Amino acid sequence: MELEKNSILAFPHADSFKNVVADAIKLAQANGASQAEAGLSVSQGLSVATRMGSVETIEHQQDNGLGISVYFGRHKASASTSNLDPEAIRKTVAAACDIARYTSEDPCAGLADAELMATEMHELDLYHPWGLDPQSVIDLALECENAALEYDPRIVNSEGASVDLNAGVSVYGNSHGFLQAQHKTRHSISCSVVGQSEGNMQRDYWYDISRHPDQLASARSIGETAAERTVRRLDASKLKTQQAPILFVPELARGLIGHFSAAIGGAAQYRKASFLLDAVGEQVFPDFMQLREDPLIPRALASANFDAEGVTTHVGDLVTDGVIQNYLLDSYSARKLGLTTTGHASGVHNLMLGDTGKSFDECLAAMHRGLLVTELMGHGVNTVTGDYSRGAAGFWVENGKLDHAVEEVTIAANLRDMFKGIVEIGKDIDVRGSVRCGSILIDNMMIAGSD
């Protein structure tokens, strides 16, 4: 498959998709629905995976999906189909309408308010197909994996390299008259290899992901980074149980911000299942902490003009001087709380954590002695109580320098204490996700290792 700049036109034109959504909404209203909303997505992609110099898989994907939600007063039901033929859509809408008549009434159900619908559409530059044929994609994956295998003789095996190309269009509409289409691309390269030294084996990986192929790191550099990360983990050892500072690398640090955003999410708040319950206006981070959301960054992975309900997204501050400014609400959770939606029905849109001006090496120096965490394992995070306990691997740091690799330890604390204990935020910002942040240094956590 060749994805050219206008390859989305291999599908029916976007207006055809808009017509499908508009027709589904009209059908729902004709079936008695007082309100209705529908979302359609169509995507195509090419994925190649190689292992030890051979092609393991070549997959061409083409996915279709239409979801419809209908409201009969405050009674809601939903149905979906992957068949976009008119008769299949008619049956799907009819099924949703039939189900709605039997659902319980919910006073908070319904579309987001009409006056909150997005009206201004900024050019976000999210659509950049990658013009590669299958052989070129294979060559790229092999180049990535070969670079890793050739990096060091201690690299003895491979879990493979992969290259993924994806282009698609999505449409959302509702009975307020809102109807918009979005074109997006998403491409990635990744590699994972195994190293061995004196009987000790370790694995590690690296990847990159972007809307635009020109912004991806080279296949060779991704392979070499995966190998370098693997080699430096060889001959890892455990630590004695102790308390020490912890430095999270950026790709893991974003998870801490993810736990925060989950705790101030509308569902957690109205269910009273959050360690940050009723926390708007409370200082939970140090006063140098700033967390800003910008949904309008061109080419960013989480940019959007509107959320999953058609509500306008906004540039704004979530945390100012360590103080929580707002919850993350969709229309349902907002009604449950007696508030107004914040345009987060589809999650956060480019959360950006302000740094303290230090590079990664300067953060290591600031820590002086402690644990650099490069991998986390398990799911030991309780956002109801804030308790945090996860398996970890990384490097012990002495005098601000990496001393030796560490494995099979557990780090633990409470998220409230961890947030208050942030002392540095690096300027080594990772942009490969919906949260953009650098390394985070926490002053003290428990490290459980050998006695």
Domain ranges of the chain: 7-231, 236-451
Strands lying side by side in the sheet with 351-353:
323-324, 316-320, 291-293, 351-353, 435-436
User: Mean pLDDT over residues 378-394, rounded?
Assistant: 95
User: Residue ranges of the alpha helices (H) in 40-182?
Assistant: 86-100, 134-149
Bridge partners (DSSP) listed for residue 168: 43, 184
- Model confidence band, residue 200 (pLDDT cutoffs 50, 70, 90): confident
Q: What pLDDT score does 5 carry?
A: 38
User: Mean pLDDT over residues 368-372, rounded?
Assistant: 97
Q: Which pair of structure tokens corresponds to residue 17?
A: 């998709």
- Model confidence band, residue 399 (pLDDT cutoffs 50, 70, 90): very high
Quick one: which of 146, 134, 114 has its CA closest to 48?
A: 134
**C-beta neighbour count of 314 within 10 angstroms:** 13
Report the C-alpha gap between 32 and 394 in whole angstroms. 59
Q: Which pair of structure tokens corresponds to residue 313?
A: 């997204």
User: Mean pLDDT over residues 52-57, rounded?
Assistant: 96
User: Mean pLDDT over residues 410-425, rounded?
Assistant: 98
Question: Measuring CA to CA, how many Å separate 224 from each of 19, 47, 144, 190, 220?
Answer: 48, 21, 8, 11, 6
Q: Is the pLDDT of residue 349 over 80?
A: yes
Angular region, 198: left φ>0, alpha ψ -120 to 50, beta rest: left
- Model confidence band, residue 13 (pLDDT cutoffs 50, 70, 90): low
User: Mean pLDDT over residues 87-92, rounded?
Assistant: 97
Q: What pLDDT score does 414 carry?
A: 98
Count how many residues are written for the chain.
451
| Percent of residues, the chain, with pLDDT higher than 70 | 97
- Model confidence band, residue 15 (pLDDT cutoffs 50, 70, 90): confident
- Model confidence band, residue 95 (pLDDT cutoffs 50, 70, 90): very high
Q: Could you read off the pLDDT of 223-254 as tens digits, one per residue?
A: 999 999 999 999 999 999 999 999 999 999 99
User: Mean pLDDT over residues 40-51, rounded?
Assistant: 96
7-231 carries CATH number 3.20.20.70: no
Mean pLDDT for the chain?
Answer: 95
* Cβ proximity of 379 and 397 under 8 Å: no
Q: What pLDDT score does 425 carry?
A: 98
- Model confidence band, residue 221 (pLDDT cutoffs 50, 70, 90): very high
Report the C-alpha gap between 142 and 134 in whole angstroms. 12
User: Mean pLDDT over residues 118-127, rounded?
Assistant: 96
User: Mean pLDDT over residues 191-204, rounded?
Assistant: 93
Q: What pLDDT score does 1 carry?
A: 30
User: Mean pLDDT over residues 395-404, rounded?
Assistant: 96
- Model confidence band, residue 402 (pLDDT cutoffs 50, 70, 90): very high
